[in-house]
Chain A
């Protein structure tokens, strides 16, 4: 059953304002299409057009200046019933502010209709020029006529992927044009040209609406698109994030009775973060508590790559490491990134690739050709060497984790095992 969309016939606009015409014919078109008022969600914006809410029997959502297309898009995303209609009202100024929102809704081809009330200036704030003010049109801020070309909102929206775009003159009965826009599947935009009597008419005496549009190089018409309409299946996923995780049981033993702070560092792409992750998981399989933190420059593919790992028989609260007990360094990038703290190590062990000159440090230095396994595996090899050399926990723990993580086939595990047994 349909009812009247309008609560009152006396709308709150200045005499002769095109907004009045748009409101009357919008509601008429929706009624003719058979919508119940409460099947319509009218999303409005700031500007004279936005004060229509109180006169409507539809649901009304009155948002921020320039944002109604995005707000309406949000409403559309939440609709499960496609019989609903989201109609967005926006002015030429709002369309300038929120151009990105309109283009995005068109690009996704969301099933909403945007009605642009282009009265060629900011009515509510005093008649200033907008991005949609036609070239040559006078406003309170361009007394000689707007020197700039306006955005062609229709072409922009059409190119972005809208199903239907039209530009019409806001004169006479425009309900059939609106009906056409409302009955499209997918994104539709209808730009309705009008002249605000309070500012536009006074500042541009004698100029006719259609002439203003044509003389600014714009034409009336409609433009059709054929992009697929957005469906809610796009992006739908739902999997329990905890169930994705591998559980790690204690099945090996360790020899730690206190916190062990470890820094592993090398160059990006050389397996540093993977090696830290395998170390952490292997330690967990011996019953240790762990933390693992990575740091690298914003360009993740070049420069240093550092990982900080805490291993502890007790739970770890604070995970920051300033001076580590163990430093595992496999490249110049890694050394440079950690040089200061290695120099400050008063004890502990530095495992360093034999190609590098160790800095002055009180840590015990173990130098070995970790890069002999290839740069990509240097960090993994050095980490495994540390486990074996220090005896921190069962060596079998790391082989087990590599197997469990499916890394055995991808990493030269046997080659490393042989090297470690040498």
Chain B
């Protein structure tokens, strides 16, 4: 933590922290269109990014971002389910082309248009199934203002390091509510460095992996030919049907995200001696979970807390942690316990209690009720 004289206590919202953090980490373009509840992100994007473009629709947004990313820019957009749904084919394209970008997904109540001004946590399983073939795309979820800052920067870093789109998952209440906050507590964000392939001796292949991720070269240089391809392709980027090399390339897209997960596994595990109960919550529900754990401790009930930030691919150590407790309460603002399903599939163990709610934030009392029935 560091203190600088320019910072201090102020009334702020999470959207502002996210965009500023992304800009400091090296994001240089905001592309988007206004959608509730991502509108503050759009506004701040227009004030902060070197390049801000209003796209006419969501598909154009992602296509422009992909084009920019191909030139070496790091573009950001912010949307909500209706927009994300339209972006999906292009998200797959960016994933296949291995183009870094950050998509901030602000969850709101669905299905379809649902209620634009009501928060929700209903899009986790959609993100889980976003890439055709079931390949994972990194998803980080913010649980508080520090996360809006740190995880936004981390999302930019992961996008660049792994050459992939990264989703920063949040929700209406997290990015639109204003809170008193001391900005002097914010950590310094370093700009993510982007080393480009620099060998002049040998030929460059756009998809030849080094530590599972190919070296990047933008289409604006003229040392080497760059080939980017959304169709099944070989290392050179040339369209293939299902040759061995092309299938290896497709497999690698999954492997890089999973095998290099240790670079972006982030969670908060708040433990207390003697606790046999664990509360698990992410995103907006984490604030209620924090209050619930604190209140239980005050009442003499030792309680631990797990707030996962890395949601996809789901780290195996979450299961290890949950396995250590005789009682686990997982709280999520949806009706079908999406995080629990991700962890356990259809067979959720009996010692796992679920707190779910639709259209309203889960309160600390509702979590406490499940811990102390």
Interface residue from B36, B89, B180, B227 paired with A59 (Cβ < 8 Å): B227
Which residues of chain A are within 8 angstroms of B229 by Cβ–Cβ distance? 53, 60-62
Decide: B179 and A54 in contact? CB cutoff 8 A: no
Which residues of chain B are within 8 angstroms of A318 by Cβ–Cβ distance? 287-288, 290-291, 361, 363-364
Quick one: closest A residue to B238, CB to CB? A54
Inter-chain CA distance A190–B15, complex, in Å, is: 43
Place the interface of chain A in its size category: 35 or more
Inter-chain CA distance A33–B12, complex, in Å, is: 54
What is the minimal beta-carbon distance from A280 to any residue of chain B, in angstroms? 6
Stretch at the interface among A78-86, A325-333, A360-368, A389-397: A78-86
Check if A289 is an interface residue, CB within 8 A of chain B. Answer: yes
Inter-chain CA distance A240–B21, complex, in Å, is: 10
Check if B70 is an interface residue, CB within 8 A of chain A. Answer: yes
Decide: A60 and B228 in contact? CB cutoff 8 A: yes
Check if A303 is an interface residue, CB within 8 A of chain B. Answer: no
Contact flag A60-B237 (CB < 8 Å), given A281-B11, A298-B117: yes
Quick one: closest A residue to B54, CB to CB? A235
Check if B279 is an interface residue, CB within 8 A of chain A. Answer: no
Quick one: closest B residue to A69, CB to CB? B63
Interface residue from B7, B52, B67, B364 paired with A74 (Cβ < 8 Å): B67
Quick one: closest B residue to A244, CB to CB? B47
Stretch at the interface among B170-178, B194-202, B262-270: B170-178
Inter-chain CA distance A288–B11, complex, in Å, is: 12
Which residues of chain B are within 8 angstroms of A249 by Cβ–Cβ distance? 8-9
Stretch at the interface among A36-44, A143-151, A211-219, A221-229: A36-44
Which residues of chain A are within 8 angstroms of B66 by Cβ–Cβ distance? 63, 71, 74
Place the interface of chain B in its size category: 35 or more
What is the minimal beta-carbon distance from B292 to any residue of chain A, in angstroms? 8
Which residues of chain A are within 8 angstroms of B183 by Cβ–Cβ distance? 242, 245
Decide: A293 and B177 in contact? CB cutoff 8 A: yes
Decide: A322 and B60 in contact? CB cutoff 8 A: no
Inter-chain CA distance A148–B180, complex, in Å, is: 61
Quick one: closest B residue to A51, CB to CB? B239
Interface residue from A59, A60, A292 paired with B178 (Cβ < 8 Å): A292
Decide: B7 and A242 in contact? CB cutoff 8 A: yes
Check if A117 is an interface residue, CB within 8 A of chain B. Answer: no
Decide: B63 and A70 in contact? CB cutoff 8 A: yes
Quick one: closest B residue to A54, CB to CB? B238
What is the minimal beta-carbon distance from A237 to any residue of chain B, in angstroms? 6
Which residues of chain A are within 8 angstroms of B56 by Cβ–Cβ distance? 100, 104
Which residues of chain B are within 8 angstroms of A46 by Cβ–Cβ distance? 231
Inter-chain CA distance A274–B75, complex, in Å, is: 34
Check if B50 is an interface residue, CB within 8 A of chain A. Answer: yes
Grouping DSSP codes into helix (H, G, I), strand (E, B) and loop, the B interface class, with mixed when no group exceeds half, is mixed
1/0 per residue B306-319: CB within 8 Å of A?
A: 00000000000000
Check if A204 is an interface residue, CB within 8 A of chain B. Answer: no
Decide: A64 and B93 in contact? CB cutoff 8 A: yes
Decide: B29 and A75 in contact? CB cutoff 8 A: no
Contact flag A36-B222 (CB < 8 Å), given A67-B63, A77-B53: yes
Quick one: closest A residue to B50, CB to CB? A238
What is the minimal beta-carbon distance from A27 to any residue of chain B, in angstroms? 14
Check if A134 is an interface residue, CB within 8 A of chain B. Answer: no
Quick one: closest B residue to A66, CB to CB? B59
Check if B275 is an interface residue, CB within 8 A of chain A. Answer: no
Inter-chain CA distance A386–B71, complex, in Å, is: 57
What is the minimal beta-carbon distance from B204 to any residue of chain A, in angstroms? 11
Check if A316 is an interface residue, CB within 8 A of chain B. Answer: yes
Inter-chain CA distance A247–B3, complex, in Å, is: 14
Contact flag A241-B178 (CB < 8 Å), given A54-B239, A71-B67: no
Check if A421 is an interface residue, CB within 8 A of chain B. Answer: no
Decide: B59 and A63 in contact? CB cutoff 8 A: no
Check if B57 is an interface residue, CB within 8 A of chain A. Answer: yes
Decide: B116 and A322 in contact? CB cutoff 8 A: no
Check if B72 is an interface residue, CB within 8 A of chain A. Answer: yes
Decide: B230 and A62 in contact? CB cutoff 8 A: yes
Inter-chain CA distance A100–B33, complex, in Å, is: 15
Decide: A290 and B239 in contact? CB cutoff 8 A: no
Inter-chain CA distance A37–B47, complex, in Å, is: 37
Decide: A104 and B227 in contact? CB cutoff 8 A: no
Decide: A319 and B68 in contact? CB cutoff 8 A: no
Which residues from 227 to 257 on chain B have a C-beta closer than 8 Å to any C-beta of chain A? Answer: 227-231, 237-239
Check if B226 is an interface residue, CB within 8 A of chain A. Answer: yes
Quick one: closest B residue to A97, CB to CB? B59
Which residues from 39 to 92 on chain B have a C-beta closer than 8 Å to any C-beta of chain A? Answer: 44, 46-53, 55-57, 59-60, 63-73, 89-90
Which residues of chain A are within 8 angstroms of B144 by Cβ–Cβ distance? 317
Decide: A319 and B173 in contact? CB cutoff 8 A: yes
Quick one: closest A residue to B30, CB to CB? A235
Check if B19 is an interface residue, CB within 8 A of chain A. Answer: yes
Quick one: closest A residue to B7, CB to CB? A242
Check if B336 is an interface residue, CB within 8 A of chain A. Answer: no
Decide: B53 and A241 in contact? CB cutoff 8 A: no
* Minimum-distance CB pairs A-B, first 5: A74-B67, A78-B71, A70-B63, A38-B222, A74-B64
Given A75-B219, A237-B46, A244-B47, 18 more pairs with CB closer than 8 A: A38-B221, A39-B222, A59-B225, A59-B226, A61-B70, A62-B230, A70-B67, A74-B66, A101-B63, A241-B19, A280-B11, A289-B179, A294-B176, A317-B290, A318-B288, A318-B290, A319-B177, A320-B288
